[in-house]
Structure 1
Amino acid sequence: MINVYLDDLRDCPEGFTLARTFEDAVKLFENNEVNIRTLDHDLGEDAEGFELKNGYDFVKCFCEHGLRANKIYHHTDNPVGRRNMYETLLAAQRRGFINENRI
């Protein structure tokens, strides 16, 4: 079982496996059981200046594809992004996609 830390810039804390991109995080979840998932909202831009898939995109994927983690945290500095991610998880919880104690 691993702990996943999704962030494009910050150093990865000890005990976590780093995912720098949305795609990296999806691969980790597809290939491992995850204990703790913590993520940033803003994950940078591509070479043309377009925003890359962000933490909110990952939360939507997490809910849509039934990905699982025992604990979920958001370490983003983006208050609007944090709220969107949290509200999406709450909606998934109400619909039974996420257990009550997972948010």
Structure 2
Amino acid sequence: MKKVKVFLDDVRIAPKGWIHVFWPNEAIELLQIGNVEEISLDHDLGDDARGTGYDVILWIEEAVALEGFVAPKILVHSANISARLKMEQGIQNIIAIGKVRD
């Protein structure tokens, strides 16, 4: 199965070779397939009712803790400093409880 990189953002353009998604559910669907090697997340996506990048962190954290999911490399590119810190803490929790791809 071909490995992919996923870029979650509502405004920025995805880097070349990355799959661009706009909503957390789209990112999670790709993660569930199991071939995501790297994911880069923005927090603020323009409609908090549809979710934020932090929701993807929470999904990964739960999947790692409860299902033995191996998380991809996770990057945060959000300009929202307080949200970035919260997301980075979530990544540290994921690393502490499970495996993360290098």
Please state which band the TM-score falls in when normalised by the shorter chain: 0.7 to 0.9
Higher mean Cα deviation, 76-85 or 28-37? 28-37
Q: Which runs of 5+ in 2 are unaligned?
A: none
Q: Which residue of 2 aligns with 1:64?
A: 62
Q: Which residue of 2 aligns with 1:85?
A: 87
Deviation for aligned residue 1:98 = 3.7
Pairwise CA RMSD of aligned residues? 1.8
TM-score of the two chains, using structure 1 as the length reference: 0.81
Paired residues of 1:44 and 1:51 also in contact (CA < 8 A): no
**In structure 1, what is the Cα distance between the partners aligned to 2:25 and 2:7?**
13
**In structure 1, what is the Cα distance between the partners aligned to 2:52 and 2:11?**
13
Q: Which runs of 5+ in 1 are unaligned?
A: none
**In structure 2, what is the Cα distance between the partners aligned to 1:32 and 1:15?**
18
Paired residues of 2:44 and 2:78 also in contact (CA < 8 A): yes
**In structure 2, what is the Cα distance between the partners aligned to 1:98 and 1:83?**
21
TM-score of the two chains, using structure 2 as the length reference: 0.82
